[in-house]
Amino acid sequence: MAQGNGYSYTHTIDGQSEASERGFGVINPATAEVFAQCPDASREQLDRAVAAARRAFPSWAAKSFAERREAIAAFAHGLAKRIDEIGPVLTREQGKPVGQAKWEIGGAVHELEAMCTEELTSELVRNDGKHRVELVYHPIGVVGAIAPWNFPIILAAHKIAHGLYAGNTMVLKPSPYTPLATLLMGEVARDTLPRGVLNVLAGGNDLGQWMTEHPGIDRISFTGSVPTGKKVMASSSGTLKRVTLELGGNDPAVILEDADIAAITPNIFRGAFLNAGQICMAVKRVYAPEKLYEPLVEGLTKLALSHRVGDGFEDNVEMGPLQNKMQFDKVNGILEDTKRHKGARITAGGHTLNRPGYFIAPTIVADANDEMRLVREEQFGPVLPVLKYKDVEDAIRRANDTRFGLCASVWTSDFERGAEVAKRIEAGTVWVNHHVGSEADMPFGGFKESGVGRELGHMGLVSYMEVQAIKVPVA
């Protein structure tokens, strides 16, 4: 069995604990050292997990929404009982402060219940006296869910909630960077869900490809980067799997001339630097009008300089490290490119911390320009560019000048005007005077290369089902 801190981590297959012959090390990003071993699932173990899910599917799909809701609620309650145990594991493997780790697990508990309220019934679309046409919703079958490393628990919970509530069974794979807390979710499933309904396997990139190619898996739900999402779609095409891809973003915050800078600056800062900026929907670039520009830069700079960074177990830490060396090196590369651009001002941060681990100081870059990597790419780290615009048309044009389209925000004292500007921004979610957050009844997904399909809300639930049209003569 793979171990860490005296604990043995195992897969969950058909409601049972399973070890693997092989394992891999899990690194604590605050120390850059391996702290635990994780089992590495074989292709044969995946085959058995898929077979277990297929066996469990008929009886699970036959249950009513109310019965499935009750079972998922039991799973949520089981997870809630282990927050204090799982939270520190999540901090060690992901890096976020332990209070934020426990908040994430608590959020997953809430979402598991909040997402399982709507009941899909047949829908009458025509009854003209000659024929009656109904739409009937059926679960798809076995879902392959692949979760990311930035919020491994709550994003897995989104997939579990709607996937299982719709009547499907599931094989869940966490990121190899953050597998352990998710394996503990599998332990909860053993005690609360019927055998085979939720199987949890850890492994590397090979496991992900085996899942996307597997003929026994009917649907893939993937959250991660754009390049990997494209590979998932290509790999899934061989069996024409239904695919939902929630991918990256380069999310703009557009500040209008009437915004209250003193009031909104802390909210923009939180939207950019929560989880060390490692959030697909985080603020990635800020556009401010000339008259508000310097007060905004000054306010963001003060917050960055006072933001406490450290190991997630240290007192009063607000931000942990980057989660892995690959991301750490990428953000450092973007920082070095930024320093080569004449005119760009780094007003806070701009350096790594002199300590073990993957730490980068919260960084504000003023006088950024549209051609910098920091503006063109998704940095996915604690570095925020602030750009100046001349008028709203200029801001909207530049906000939309990207291959991404996940989220955005508009900041103003005139909410209706903010809503009108929001409608012109090419993104799946646009907030007014807010940035970052998901809600159980609000569909989430992206325009352009930021994804395919939607999760959450009515659209998310329907995406886990097949829609059947039935036409019947009227007697």
pLDDT of residue 475: 82
Note whether 214 and 144 are within 8 A (CB).
Answer: yes
Q: What is the CATH number of domain 251-439?
A: 3.40.309.10
Backbone conformation region of residue 360, classed left if phi is above 0, alpha if psi is from -120 to 50, else beta: beta
DSSP 8-class letter at 236: H
246 belongs to the catalytic site: yes
Domain 2-247+449-470 falls under CATH 3.40.605.10: yes
Q: Which residues contact 103 (CB under 8 A, 6 or more apart)?
A: none
DSSP string, 83-122: HHHHHHHHHHHH---HHHHHHHHHHHHHHHHHTS------
Residues 46 and 210: beta-carbon distance below 8 Å:
yes
Residues 6+ apart with CB under 8 A from 6: none
Q: Find out whether 322 and 288 touch, Cβ atoms under 8 Å.
A: no
CA distance 243 to 116: 21
> 194 with 90: CB under 8 angstroms?
no
Radius of gyration of the chain (CA): 23
- Reduce the DSSP state of residue 392 to 3 states and report it: helix
Question: What pLDDT score does 133 carry?
Answer: 97
Domain positions in the chain are 2-247+449-470, 251-439
Q: Distance between alpha carbon 109 and the CA centroid of its chain, in Å?
A: 16
Cβ contacts of residue 195 below 8 Å, gap of 6+? Answer: 14, 15, 16, 52, 56
Catalytic residue among 93, 113, 116, 280: 280
Same fold, 2-247+449-470 and 251-439: no
Exactly one of 113, 246, 378, 449 is catalytic; name it: 246
213 is catalytic: no
- The C-alpha atoms of residue 185 and residue 178 are separated, in whole angstroms, by 13
Check: CB of residue 57 under 8 Å from CB of residue 142.
yes
Please return the burial class of 66, using the count of CB atoms within 10 Å of its CB with bins 0-12, 13-18 and 19+.
Answer: exposed
Q: What Å distances lie between residue 244 and 34, 40, 219, 455, 460, CA to CA?
A: 33, 25, 8, 8, 9
pTM: 0.96
Q: What is the mean pLDDT of each run of 10 residues along the chain (475 residues)?
A: 72 98 97 98 98 98 98 98 98 98 98 96 94 97 98 98 98 98 98 98 96 98 97 97 97 98 98 98 98 98 98 98 98 97 96 98 97 97 98 98 98 98 98 95 97 97 97 93
DSSP H stretches of helix in 119-246: 152-165, 180-192, 205-213, 226-236
How long is the chain? 475
Percent helix, strand and coil across the chain, each rounded to 5? 40, 25, 35
Residues 420, 403: Cα–Cα separation, whole Å:
22
**CA 367 from centre of chain:** 30
